[in-house]
Structure formats: C-alpha cells, structure tokens
Structure 1
Amino acid sequence: MEPSINYKNIYYPPGGILLWIIIFLELITFGIALLAMVFSSQENPELFHDSRLLLNTTYGMVNTIFLLTSGFFMAVAVSEFKRNNIRKVKLYLGLTMGFGLLFLGLKGLEYFEKLEAGITMSYNTFFSYYWMLTLFHVVHVIVGLVILASLYFSIKKPDMVLEDVEASAAFWHMCDLIWLLLFPIIYLLF
C-alpha cells in the first residue's frame, strides 16, 4: 500500500496562500518606500547624509541583534514543536517575545531622543521617511508580538497544529527581514 500524499502541504505554504500574499505585499510595500527614499536622496544628498548622521547607528545595530536573536529563538521554537517538547516551545517563544520587546524598548528610547531634539516627521524629507518606515515596522513588530502571545497561550490546546506555529514564525521572520532592509538603508547608506 502506497502512503497517502497530503496535497495541501505540497501546494500551500505554512499559514496558507493568504498569509504569504500578505507577506509579499508587505515586503513590496517596504521595498517601494525604500526605493522612493533612495531616489529622493538623489535630489538632496547632503541633506540625507547630514540627517543620517543624527541617527544612533549603535541603537540600530543593537536592534538588529535583538531581532536576529529573536528570529533564531523562533526557529528553535518551531523545531521544538516538531519534537513535541511543549515546555521548550514555550521557553523559546518567551525568549522570542522578550527580544522583540527589547527591540521595541530601544526603538522607543530612540524615538524619545529624536522627539526631545525636535526631530519629527516634518523635520525634513529624510526624517519623513525615517518616521514613516520605522513606525510602520514597529506596528508590524507589535502585531507579531500579539500573534506570538496568542500562540504562547494556546500552545497546549489539542487542535494546535504545526502550520499555526510555522505561520506565526513566517510573520515574525518577515519582521526580521524588513528590519534587515531598513537598517542598512536608513542607518548606513546615506
């Protein structure tokens, strides 16, 4: 007797087509905005360069480490779920969320410092892009944390399936990827 084939797993990625359409649309949206920023910088390269120097590159790098570390722990959580080790899944989900919260805390400090210095969205073109792109990313991180918290508290339910965990991981990794596009362009390029 031949084993049955689950065609859903062959044709549909974790979380289903809709989730991946959303992920691709988000990546395209951020990509278009970053391209617009790069093209805008060609009109006034000195303004963009001088404005970029007002950013704290150390904050950006530490936040990159926070998100990459959280992404690593998310991958480990998925792996532990496949091994049916719920205790470790919860541990690694907690670490994932913890590093996501560290990212938000440091980003909040950076925003506070910018606002204290009078650097708002209307400060100049560079900071219009900076605020728009980074705040939109922060919204994605917050949504990702809500998804992960929901997963964390429902992990023991009998109807929890690998696809739910993998879909949550896909969204979280999208947040990582978006930051990996934002950080070098905003903090290092100009």
Structure 2
Amino acid sequence: MSRKLLSKSCTQASHGARHFTLQAQTGCRACKPKARSAGRSLLLLSLVSGLLGCGTKLSLTAPETTDSTVSEGPACYVSGDSLAHLLRLEHRYLLADSDEQRTRQLMEARQSHDKALEGLLLTSPVSSEADATRGAELLRSLPLYPDDRCIADRYLFLHLSQVQRELSSRTELKAREDEISELKRKIEALTDLEQQITRQRKDL
C-alpha cells in the first residue's frame, strides 16, 4: 500500500470517527436508533486505524474529572496566615507588666475558643509548671498537621515537643532532688542515732 493511499485511509477513518462521536454527543432523535450500530462502527474504525498505523488516536470523549484533594492541599488546623498573629500575642503575653494582664489575655483566648492560642500562652517560658502541663495537654488534643505546607501547625508541633522535653527534664530533676532530700534525711537520722549511742556509752 502506497503512503498516499495510507494517508487517505487514515483521513477517512478519522472523519468517520468524528462523525459518530458527534452523533453520540448531540443525542438527536434520528440518531438514537443507530446508536448501537454507530458504536460498533466506531470500534471498527479504531481497529482499522490501528492496523493502518495511523498516528491519530480515536477515542470516545469523556468528561474531565478533577481531584479536589490535590487542588485544596493539606487540611491545616491553623492557617499559615495566622502564625504571625499567634507569635504577636505570645510576645505580648511574655512582655506583660503583671500577672493580671496575662490572666486577662488567657481569659480572652478561652472566650474566643482559640485553643491553639490558649495552649501556646500556657506553655510560654513565664508559665508555671502546672500551666505548662495543662497547655501541653491542650496542644496534644489538637489535630495538628505538621507538614511543611502547614507552617503554623508545624510551629505548634515543634513548640509542643520542646515543652514536653522541658517538662520531662523538670520531672527528672524533681525526682533527683527528692532522692537527695531522702538521703539527707536518712543521714541525719543515722547521725542522731550515732550520737545517742555515744551518749549512752559515756553514761555507762
């Protein structure tokens, strides 16, 4: 078969495919009785086109689908735009002139149901160990997504990790201090006992 004849056959196959596809898309009444025949003819044209080596791909048109999960991105608990606002409020909490101002700011965070801000303030360096423990529990309860695209969630997650390490260190330090205090008490008790024994020997 000559190249000219092959090109002509491919053109006819392509035109035929377009014709049947147009009939399927328009849905005219006259074309409906021939729908099955058109489908078989379209498949036959596709097969013939493949055997002839035509470069044009014949396929039925399908509606385009979009993946909403890809376009929307990760579900961040705190938006990235809110990070600057959180840091600004934390800075104001640290620089407060009195405990009353800090208490008022905490109340505002609770009233606004901003758990991320409340947890951040409770775990600040100026907070007590009890407040830091309560703030860490609050941050752990949040569905944070520590992805690079969720910078606010990632900041809170790293902040929580640091607070937990500090609380763990405080617990270990307190345990050692309690152990040292117990050893001192035992030493003092032994010293008193030794002194009593010494006095009793002198009396004898």
TM range (shorter): 0.3 to 0.5
Structure number with the higher helix fraction is 1
Q: Which has the higher contact order (CA 8 A, sep 6+)?
A: 1
Larger Rg: 1 or 2?
A: 2
TM-score (norm 1): 0.32
